[in-house]
Amino acid sequence: MKVLIIEDEKTLAFEMEKFLRKAFYLCDLSHSYKQGVEKLEMNQYDYVLIDLGLPDGDGFDLLIKAKKSNPDAAYIILTARGKLEDRVAGLDMGADDYLAKPFFLPELHSRMQAIARRKFKVTEELIPLGNFNIDLQKRFVFFGEEQIELSRKEFDLLSYLLLHKNRVLTRIQLSEHIWGNFVDDDYDSNYIDAHIKNIRKKLNIYAPTEWLETVRGVGYRIKK
């Protein structure tokens, strides 16, 4: 999968590239509107990540241009402006998703995966996880034929860890995914622990959950 990252903040672009490369994406970087247009004319991409605040041109403008040369790509708008109108305008102009900076890299990755599922109509079968099977689309956890009730947040947490299997996710990364980036006055929430405890409790009735690891001092990981 080829990704074009159009971001004028070079360090940021580089960090995104580093992360996505590990997840086996091929990344191209451009640091300006002009460069972005050139790259888009020359290559075909699966994903285009556009920063709205480019120094030499309007990001929305670039989106419209890009959609002409790369009609099949998935577009994600990145912005530090975080304005509601930007989000609405971006989605109206045909962007597939929108992320407000700062965002966590696993979040970016999972949004890309979600678009892929939606766009390419990937109807995944049940994903095996230990002795359980997970249906990400219908949001079910099965033990054999039996369906296990998880709360909405518990399922979100489990599927997010599953999408990033073998990667440690910190409590903060998990919190932001589950509670979104809506403004909260707390800085040390251990509520993730409570949810993990509940998930383990509910699943342990059926089978051991040793695949759901606690990484001391860091966070959690699903090992497969």
Binding string, residues 85-104; x marks residues near other proteins by CB under 8 A: x---------------xxxx
Residue with tokens 């910190």: 170
Of 19 and 206, nearer to other proteins (C-beta) is: 19
Please state the closest distance from residue 162 (CB atom) to other proteins, in A: 17
Binding string, residues 150-179; x marks residues near other proteins by CB under 8 A: --xx-------------xx-x-xx-----x
Of 15 and 58, nearer to other proteins (C-beta) is: 15
Residues 6+ positions from 169 with CB-CB distance below 8 Å? 106, 160, 161, 219, 220, 221
The long-range contacts involving 98-102, CB below 8 angstroms and separated by at least 24 positions, are 100/181
**Contact residue for other proteins among 69, 82, 140, 142 (CB under 8 A):** 82
Of 131 and 213, nearer to other proteins (C-beta) is: 213
CB atoms within 10 A of CB 217: 6
Angle 84-92/59-69 helices, nearest 10 degrees?
20
Please state the closest distance from residue 99 (CB atom) to other proteins, in A: 10
Q: Which of residues 190-219 bind other proteins (CB under 8 A)?
A: 191, 194-195, 215-219
Q: Which of 161, 134, 159 shows the shortest CA–CA distance to 148? A: 134
Question: 163 is written with which tokens?
Answer: 């999408």
Kindly provide the b/e burial profile for residues 164-192, where b requires at least 16 CB atoms within 10 angstroms of the residue's own CB. Answer: beebbbbbebbbbbbeeeeeeeeeeeeeb
**Contact residue for other proteins among 16, 134, 174, 199 (CB under 8 A):** 16
Name the site residues for other proteins (rule: CB under 8 A): 9, 11-12, 15-16, 18-19, 22, 80-85, 101-106, 152-153, 167-168, 170, 172-173, 179, 181-189, 191, 194-195, 215-219
